[in-house]
Amino acid sequence: MQTIKTVWSALTLAAAMCASAHAADMGTDIVKRGEYLATAGDCIACHSTAAGKSFAGGLAIATPLGKIVSTNITPSKTAGIGNYTLEQFTDALRRGVRADGERLYPAMPYTSYAQLSDDDVKALYIYFQQGVAAVDEKPAATDLPFPFNIRVSMAAWNLLFLDGKPFVPDGSKSVEWNRGAYLAQGLAHCSTCHTPRTALMGEDKSRPLAGADLGTWYAPNISSDAVSGIGSWSQAQLAEYLRSGRVAGKAQAGGPMAEVIDNSLRHLNEEDRQALATYIKTAAPQHDAQDSQAADSFGQAYAGIGALRGAPLASDTSKFNGAQLYDANCASCHRANGEGSAQWGGKDASLPALFHNTALGHLNSNNLVMAILEGVQRKAGGPEVLMPAFSNKLSDEQVATLSNYLLQHYGNPAAKVTAEQVKSLRAGGETSSLLTLARVGIVLVIALLLIVAVLLGRRRQPKP
Amino acid sequence: MNSHPQLAAQTVAPDKNRRLLLAGVLSGYVCSFLTLPFSAALADAPEAVAANAPENFLALSRMLTGKVQLDAQQADRLYAALVATTPDFDAQLKQFDDFVANNKPALATLQATLDEQKLAFAKLPGKIASAWYIGVVGSGKAARCITYETSLMFVAVADRLRPPSYAYGPYGSWGRNPLAV
Amino acid sequence: MSEQYSADVVVIGSGIVGALAAHRLAAQGASVLILEGGPRIDRATLVENFRNSPRKGDFVSPYPFSSWSPHPVYQPEDNDYLVQAGPYPYKAEYIRIVGGTTWHWAAQAWRVLPNDLRIKSLYGVGRDWPIAYEDLEPFYYEAEVKMGVSGAPNNGSPRNKPFPMQPVAESYLEQRFRERLAPGGYQVITNTTARNSRAYDNRPACCGNNNCMPICPIDAQYHGGLSVEAAEQAGAKLIHNAVVYRIEHDAQDRIVAVHYYDPQKNSVRVTGKTFILAANGIESPKLLLLSASDKFKNGLANSSGTVGRNLMDHPSNSLSFESDEELWPGRGPMSPASINHLRDGAFRADHAAFRIDISNSSKVPAVTQTLIAKGVYGTELEEQIRYHAARECSIKNVLEVLPDPENRVVLSDKKDALGIPRPQVHYAMSDYVHRGMAAAREEYTRIAQLMGGTNLRYSPDGIYGNNQHITGTLAMGSESKDSVVDGFGRSHDHPNLYIASTGVMPTAATVNSTLTAVALALRSAEHIHANA
């Protein structure tokens, strides 16, 4: 009896969810629905280059193992997926297998897309066949260093890390929560960035959404822990962040997250963003003992130039101290005391304060350095934001000096930046030890086999 | 959720990436102390002597600016610069102080009175007010900037304007009626 | 002579005009070498220098001065670099550094009016240009796209394509001027400027730092430093601290080389196929005169005898007043708007035309200084600062001077630190100018009335400000007898010498000359490329 009840409530939930999904996705036009889902999944972010045509691929995605180049997923029959059947499309999306049987690298987040419902996969398929312009240009092929260029090895990896079952709603939670869970775990694939990875580059399922170093940018802890995560954020603030990438007094999106908001999240309808916020708010708290307070709670207004105003300057900027570097490069927008322009700009103020700002609040200081090196630029249609890149204006030492000044006075004083770190981030981040590990592993295995062969050979020799 | 024995084994094994990150953070933290002595030295080096402003300077400053509270560090720096650029500043300051104590002049007519009586320190109140409000001390080649954004003239209008070179706000924010802010 | 350098195109001077010509040629595949007398400079240092300067109103003060590549300095003491022969002072300001003087301009980027090129035919004054507005139009557009220019569509200069971006958002002050002046028949329009109204060229939109002069702290405003960056990225090479002191020609009158000094006075000879002289309207004629040879005793490119002559700039008079409402200048760009309809008309036969510029610079320091000088102290001082800073307005003009051969740049007998003769200027104001100034004064009075103005303070009669738009000294013309270069900026006397400068403009028009000089230079670069 109990089982039937559970099954029944699960079914009604699923039906309600699909219904709300339908209602939410602008009616029954399946191509439009597919387009909405593709936006939610942010396919365009990886499958297009900045200058190239939509979905024509060619983006070289830097991973710790090397560059993975995205493919052309326009309906071109020569260069794209124009010949794919629905089944082949489903296999690629959910199992990471191409039409020719080769495996995809998990830079394609098929581990997340595996959660998609059949209906949604079908809508996506139809959108990509009928709603996207075909582009007959094939991008460069991916060529990872040995042994990762052996794609069949992905089969083993998938055994470990691919849980290929579609999303099953949780009967004890609300419709909105389930919608948010479906989106977050599936199309929005939050965990592929925000969940830390194991040594074998799989998601560490014991610490979901606990934050991960992406090589250069850092995807922060978005669990509900009030200190290490975003537990102190209200649902409204979360939904606002997903809409605009900006919550004054807390955070603003930069780097890859800014792209996610520009390409994907701000185009969702408000109910879906609220659903995502509802779900994220319940993500199990992942506490890091090193964190003493929430990343958005550090710092206060501070004008460091005080005693140095009017003082004679060093003849070259490499000798400027932190306060002088700040005065020369940052204060013009962020103000002498770091308070930004909240007073003038209203809630979409695009010159943020540097205190109570998560970009300076994490122990992992990479985002601060990346914001300085690459700047922050948002696309047209959203708030007018351009923090210029300083990579060719500041040396590694200057970035480090400036960053430490900022962290000391406006951010997390336990976080530090070194010139070495800046140099490494400029170059694209640390490479994974996995490559060396794998190669050493192979050498060891071969050596082991040789030893075994020799021993066996010896054994076979007839005893005198 | 973890039903694969291999996966279970994996989660127990140490995460090399995490270790690398922690090692990096830790060594960075240690290395940062190496740069501290240099930055401290740099902060000290260019700053000229900042004498402690005497009480008569502070009292006269409060009178001339109409402010009950003045920033102590700013007072020290302005005082030192005034001493450096005005010959016998301390002597004039004493004369001014005595004059105020003996005559209790109204602020509105203070300058007119000093000028009329052709007193030796007649230019002093103007110099002190300029130092606080404009942040510049001395004139001609000897002129020095002591404060800029904390100069009182900018503080006076801080609810309406920013000192030039600091952003007013995001693009277009200057179109609003300033009185509506 | 220690070293040798060589390139297809050698550009003398790295200001916005020379650098954009260099960029165009380098992008088209030529090897380009730019020689700049002054040092490299970076924005961070300039911002620091500005904030630490005791003379915020002196726009030259943040910029480094080099004894080997000197420029005029007037505060706190006049360095007499530009020797004044009178009768009227000509205190031009310019800076000799990599990127040139547009590091500290207000980014005014107007085109001339079509009639500006024909005032002799139309009004019987001045001279006609050897080219038509249509010849320049495509190059104007090319310059506008490169620099990120926007403005009011009805600014009097026809265009084939829209501006690359929307005009910069109006400040509240500009709105009120526009609304209150309209009933008086004045149309206030947003200035045509190279200032970002959106993110453009990887540079942010204006954030109202109100510091266009002396330095935009965020590069929302285009300047010569960016032109040099672009040129170098396109493959042009630049040698700084290279003071060119002589241009060398051969028996066929072709330019074969230039010679420069480094700061230690070591001489270097640089050869090339084509040479572009882009060292501003004073330093370029100076160099041509300095390069006099046995064959060309009056200097190079000077068969007409007009090198350095017909010196023109834009003088200004002004009016300051207090409006009857709080406008709070200092919010947004320093120079946002103009009154444009007095730039052209039959009156030009009789008196000078002008553009009226409405200031939006912060008045706080000036107002404070005045109050303290009047002996205002205490809380009264604070109240008065707020009262006056909210209401203080100023307007000025940019007025057309006619070419007069007696107004000229020559070599003085005084030398700079490297032993190079300093330039000397002869300058005078004509009645044409004085009548124009009087007409402007009347307009100012009406404008102040419309703004409910009190406490009107006119600039002194006959004493005018200067705008550093140095034109006329290397004028273009179709006849070699009365001009220095032809319509493509090519010297009549030396077939491989081009001049890229505001100095080639034969009349001054009524707007800032930078965009026109850039358009002309791009046209010269196209000519060089086509004839290479």
Instruction: Determine the pLDDT at residue A306.
Output: 84
The CATH number given to C169-190+315-399+430-463 is 3.30.410
Lowest mean pLDDT among A55-69, A72-86, A165-179: A55-69
Q: Which of C531, C352, C331 lies closest to C438, judged by CA?
A: C352
**How far is Cα of residue C491 from the mean position of the Cα atoms in its chain?**
22
Task: Give yes or no for residue B5 having a pLDDT over 80.
Answer: no
DSSP C432: H
Instruction: Determine the pLDDT at residue C282.
Output: 98
Distances (CA, A) of A324 to A129, A316, B43, B164, C45: 56, 12, 9, 18, 10
Q: Flag if C207 and B171 touch (Cβ within 8 Å).
A: yes
Question: Amino acid identity of C223?
Answer: H
- Alpha-carbon gap, residue C199 to C178, rounded angstroms: 27
Dump pLDDT digits (tens) for A228-260. 999 999 999 999 999 989 888 899 999 999 999
DSSP A130: I
Question: Amino acid identity of A172?
Answer: S
Instruction: Determine the pLDDT at residue A407.
Output: 98
Task: Give yes or no for residue B2 having a pLDDT over 70.
Answer: no
Instruction: Determine the pLDDT at residue B181.
Output: 58
Helix (H, G, I), strand (E, B) or coil at C438: helix
Distance from CA of C60 to the nearest CA of B (A): 15
**Residue holding tokens 């420069």?**
C260
Instruction: Identify the H or E element spanning A436.
Output: helix A433-460
Chain B residues in contact with A163 (beta carbon < 8 A): 1
Instruction: Determine the pLDDT at residue B39.
Output: 34
Q: Which of A311, A323, A333 comes nearest B167 by C-beta? A: A333
Q: Which of C48, C54, C219 comes nearest A328 by C-beta? A: C48
Encode burial over C352-375: b for 16+ CB neighbours within 10 A, e otherwise. bbbbbbbbbbbbbbbbbbebbeeb
Encode burial over B117-153: b for 16+ CB neighbours within 10 A, e otherwise. eeeebbebbbbbbbbbbbbbbbeeeeebbbbbbbbbb
Instruction: Determine the pLDDT at residue C254.
Output: 97
Question: Which two structure tokens, joined as six digits, stand for A365?
Answer: 């200081």
Q: Which of the two residues, B32 and B167, has the higher pLDDT score? A: B167
Chain A interface mutation, best of C50, C207, C211, highest count of A Cβ atoms under 10 Å: C207
Q: Flag if B149 and A364 touch (Cβ within 8 Å).
A: no
Distances (CA, A) of C460 to C190, C318, C426: 28, 9, 22
Q: Flag if C381 and B133 touch (Cβ within 8 Å).
A: yes
Instruction: Determine the pLDDT at residue A10.
Output: 57
Question: Which two structure tokens, joined as six digits, stand for C258?
Answer: 């230039």
Instruction: Determine the pLDDT at residue B113.
Output: 95
Q: What is the average per-residue pLDDT within A302-325? A: 87
Distances (CA, A) of C129 to A155, A214, B125, C200, C522: 76, 61, 59, 34, 17
Terminal-residue alpha carbon distance, chain C: 29
Lowest mean pLDDT among A448-462, B83-97, C26-40: A448-462
Instruction: Determine the pLDDT at residue A449.
Output: 86
Q: Dihedrals φ, ψ of A255, to 5°?
A: 55, -140
Chain B residues in contact with C47 (beta carbon < 8 A): 165
Work out the pLDDT band at C124, boundaries 50, 70, 90: very high
Helix (H, G, I), strand (E, B) or coil at C431: helix
Task: Give yes or no for residue A21 having a pLDDT over 60.
Answer: no
**Residue holding tokens 């002799």?**
C120
Question: Amino acid identity of C245?
Answer: Y
Instruction: Determine the pLDDT at residue C454.
Output: 98
**Residue holding tokens 């650029």?**
B85
Dump pLDDT digits (tens) for A323-354. 999 999 999 999 999 999 876 655 555 789 99
Instruction: Determine the pLDDT at residue B4.
Output: 37
Dump pLDDT digits (tens) for C487-525. 999 999 999 999 999 999 999 999 999 999 999 999 999
Cβ count within 10 A of residue A168: 13
| Domain C4-148+222-312+403-429+468-530: CATH class, spelled out | alpha beta
Asked if C287 and C277 touch (Cβ cutoff 8 Å), the reply is yes
Q: Which of C472, C492, C485 lies closest to C425, judged by CA?
A: C472
Distance from CA of B181 to the nearest CA of A (A): 7
- Alpha-carbon gap, residue A117 to C424, rounded angstroms: 83
Q: Flag if A327 and C209 touch (Cβ within 8 Å).
A: no
Task: Give yes or no for residue B48 having a pLDDT over 70.
Answer: no
Q: Is A57 left (phi over 0), alpha (psi -120 to 50) or beta?
A: left
Dump pLDDT digits (tens) for C193-216. 999 999 999 999 999 999 999 999
Task: Give yes or no for residue A111 having a pLDDT over 90.
Answer: no
Instruction: Determine the pLDDT at residue B10.
Output: 36
Dump pLDDT digits (tens) for C367-420. 999 999 999 999 999 999 999 999 999 999 999 999 999 999 999 999 999 999
- Alpha-carbon gap, residue C79 to C58, rounded angstroms: 14
Question: Which two structure tokens, joined as six digits, stand for B53?
Answer: 């402003």
- Alpha-carbon gap, residue B163 to A443, rounded angstroms: 66
SS3 content of chain C, % helix, strand, coil (to 5): 30, 20, 50
Instruction: Identify the H or E element spanning C173.
Output: helix C172-181
Instruction: Determine the pLDDT at residue A312.
Output: 78
Q: Return the axis-axis angle of helices A175-185 and A2-24, rounded to nearest 10°.
A: 70
**Residue holding tokens 């975003």?**
A230
- Alpha-carbon gap, residue A162 to A160, rounded angstroms: 6
Dump pLDDT digits (tens) for A114-162. 899 999 999 999 999 999 999 999 888 888 777 777 777 777 777 767 7
Cβ count within 10 A of residue A35: 21
- Alpha-carbon gap, residue C169 to A283, rounded angstroms: 44
Distances (CA, A) of A101 to A70, A151, A152, A165, C126: 17, 10, 10, 20, 80
Helix (H, G, I), strand (E, B) or coil at C177: helix
Distances (CA, A) of A378 to A263, A386, C204, C267: 10, 7, 11, 50
Chain A residues in contact with B28 (beta carbon < 8 A): 416-418, 420-421
- Alpha-carbon gap, residue C323 to C102, rounded angstroms: 32
Asked if B157 and C389 touch (Cβ cutoff 8 Å), the reply is yes
- Alpha-carbon gap, residue C63 to C61, rounded angstroms: 5
Q: Which residues face C397 on adjacent strands? A: C356
| pLDDT mean across residues, chain C | 96
Q: What is the average per-residue pLDDT within C20-25? A: 98
Q: What is the average per-residue pLDDT within A6-25? A: 53
CA torsion, points A274, A276, A281, A287, in degrees to nearest 10? -150
What contacts A341, CB < 8 A, 6 or more positions away? A333, A335, A349, A350, A351, B167, B168, B169, B170, B173, C207
Chain A residues in contact with B16 (beta carbon < 8 A): 199, 433-434, 437
Distances (CA, A) of A372 to A387, C206, C244, C520: 8, 19, 39, 38
Task: Give yes or no for residue B8 having a pLDDT over 90.
Answer: no
Dump pLDDT digits (tens) for A199-235. 777 889 899 999 999 889 999 999 999 999 999 999 9
- Alpha-carbon gap, residue A82 to C31, rounded angstroms: 47
Can you tell me the ipTM of this complex? 0.93
Work out the pLDDT band at C231, boundaries 50, 70, 90: very high
Q: Give the CA count within 13 Å in the CB-facing half-sphere of B51.
A: 13
The neighbours of chain C, by the rule of 3 or more Cβ pairs under 8 Å, are: A, B
- Alpha-carbon gap, residue B169 to C209, rounded angstroms: 8
Dump pLDDT digits (tens) for A141-150. 888 777 777 7
Q: Dihedrals φ, ψ of C79, to 5°?
A: -90, 5
Environment class of residue A165 by beta-carbon count within 10 Å: exposed (0-12), middle (13-18) or buried (19+)?
exposed
Q: Which of C209, C380, C382 comes nearest B164 by C-beta? A: C209
DSSP A73: -
Domain ranges of chain C: 4-148+222-312+403-429+468-530, 169-190+315-399+430-463
Distances (CA, A) of B151 to A308, B78, B132, C217, C365: 14, 11, 6, 20, 10
Instruction: Determine the pLDDT at residue C420.
Output: 97
In chain B, which residue ranges form alpha helices assigned H by DSSP?
Answer: 5-12, 16-44, 55-65, 72-85, 89-103, 107-116, 124-133, 152-156
The neighbours of chain A, by the rule of 3 or more Cβ pairs under 8 Å, are: B, C
Instruction: Identify the H or E element spanning C446.
Output: helix C431-450
Task: Give yes or no for residue A369 having a pLDDT over 70.
Answer: yes
- Alpha-carbon gap, residue A253 to A246, rounded angstroms: 6
Dump pLDDT digits (tens) for C351-363. 999 999 999 999 9
Instruction: Determine the pLDDT at residue A26.
Output: 46
C223 is catalytic: no
Chain A residues in contact with B39 (beta carbon < 8 A): 321-322, 401
pLDDT more than 90, % of chain A: 57
> Which listed residue (C71, C240, C388, C469) is catalytic?
C469
